[in-house]
Structure 1
């Protein structure tokens, strides 16, 4: 029987958020279930894609604002994860899962349907399609992606993925409130104005009044449907995952060598 563990996490340090997600992926074969983890950030984080140059971010401004820079294990461009104003999801699937056997683009769309269904449950008309242009903007939300979730022509969610021969990890976002002036302070976007960003990116709270608990509940239902899981249960990290998370936190994600250069 297919099983899905749901972990609803509180706001966590950016370094530890990434360490947890990688630990879940690396230990997937030691458990008999896939995982959906929902979480937030404290303090705000600016994350870089795995292979992205750290020059994509304004490092001094990030430090001055009290944010943390972290490099994701997944790809894509730079993102601001604003404290209280974004919910992040991570999905870890076994390589034997039907969705994980699809191509990266196809699997990304299937997983991102979790956000599509979430917003439909909350009462909003949404779509999944690429948005943006072919230019590799440093700012991830301006990049075109097959799994972008669009509300009235504006992007509210994007995703990035990494996989090996044992498991797949997909990160994605649900933006709650978009403040373009802060994004432009921490991520380089030459020639891009606040007005342009507002025309392309939107937060959930701009068009809907809803409590965080309601959003989490809708996300659990939405992703359970998208992932076609039969047995869904609320869970927590295993001792093995906690141990590996702590190791990755200390040796990788809190290390400037990784965050600035992508070298372990």
Structure 2
């Protein structure tokens, strides 16, 4: 438990939702933190399967025909980095939202703080995971899991394998209206054909499996237990009460998803619509 635990936090173990709604909910959670003083930690899953592009990622790196053929939606995150393939089985995602004046102003210090419950969750799962001890060079820049491995925010396993450790989690932050939002992807299982196929590249699937590992491979637990463990670690970290989205938050998220995260101008060109005040 951290010093953040003396504030009001809610833990949301969320329903499975489409990618554009998941991204919209993060913006709504940021507004709630600022306006109502309620901070959020949550664990969530994606359906249909979704490729989330990094903020500055070129849409031409996507194999749009592959995604359409395989029922993979495409949205764009507010955070940078490469694209990540998500689905309701292979990926487990989380979000932490807190006012910026309550957390370290230094980016690396904030990563260290916000990744504490993630590393704790891996330990509880029996996965030998930690921040990467050494950098690894990029294999394919448009893919988050195949980019360079950065000791500041990339988590690898088994950590004891040093330079042979493989990526198991990517984490990213952004600041919006005096609030910090961190989200991340934990690899529960590997879907190399879809991870690689979603991009316009000729990479072999072995390239992905050589760089990436998973909770299932390293810890051998089932997905439901992994989700429960991550939720418990996040909740214990900030002493969060079990909670859920308010009706007005869900309504605002649906509107924002339809106006922004689910639209071609945002997904393909980063064109941001005007956002009315609540």
Superposed pair shares fold, TM > 0.5? yes
Q: Aligned pair in 2 of structure 1 residues 136, 179: CA closer, same or farther (>3 Å)?
A: closer
- For the pair 1:120 / 2:132, whether they are aligned, the reply is no
Closer, same or farther: CA 165–136 of 1 in aligned 2, 3 Å: farther
Quote the offset at 1:29 in angstroms.
1.2
- Aligned residues of 1:9 and 1:39 also touching (Cα < 8 A): yes
Residue 162 of structure 1, CA deviation: 1.1
1:149 aligns with 2:155: yes
Contact kept in structure 2, 1:115 and 1:149, CA below 8 Å: no
C-alpha distance after superposition, 1:101-139 (max 9, x if no partner)? 332233123212322110101112211126432677000
Aligned residue number for residue 256 of structure 1: 264
Which of residues 132, 139, 142 is equivalent to 1:138? 142
* Cα distance per residue 1:145-184 (max 9 Å; x no partner): 3211111201110012110342011110111111212211
Q: Which runs of 4+ in 1 moved over 4 A?
A: none
Structure 1 counterpart SS, 2:14? strand
Distance 1:42 1:135 in 2: 28
TM-score by length of 2: 0.86
- The alignment status of 1:17 with 2:28, answered yes or no, reads no
Distance in 2 (CA, whole Å) between partners of 1:136 and 1:161 is: 21
Which residue pairs with 1:246 in the alignment? 254
Distance in structure 1 (CA, Å) of the matches to 2:260 and 2:220 = 38
Q: Determine the structure 2 residue equivalent to 1:70.
A: 75
Instruction: Specify the alignment match of 2:40 in structure 1.
Output: 35
Decide whether the 8 Å contact of 2:29 with 2:39 is kept in 1.
no
The unaligned stretches of length 5 or more in structure 2 are: 1-5, 159-164, 273-278
Alpha-carbon spacing, 1:165–1:22, altered in 2? closer, same or farther (3 Å): closer
Q: Measure the CA separation in 1 of the matches of 2:252 and 2:87.
A: 26
**Cα 1:64–1:135 shift into 2, 3 Å:** closer
Residues 26/154 of structure 1: CA separation in 2 closer, same or farther (3 Å cut): same
Contact 2:216 2:222 in 1 (8 A): no
Shift of 1:193: 2.9
After superposition, give the CA deviation of every residue in 1:31-67 in whole Å (9 maximum; x if it has no partner). Answer: 2231111110111000101121111211111011011
Please, what is the CA RMSD of the aligned residues?
Answer: 1.9
The change in CA–CA distance for 1:9 and 1:131 in structure 2 (over 3 A counts) is: farther
Structure 2 residue aligned with 1:172: 184
> What's the CA shift for 1:85?
1.4
Partners of 1:240 and 1:259 lie apart in 2 by: 25
Q: Which sections of structure 1, spanning at least 5 residues, go unmatched?
A: none
Q: Report the TM-score when normalising by structure 1.
A: 0.90
2:171 to 151, 156, 159: 159
SS at match of 1:27: helix
Quote the offset at 1:195 in angstroms. 2.0
How many equivalent pairs are there? 258
Instruction: Measure, in 2, the Cα distance between the counterparts of 1:221 and 1:63.
Output: 36
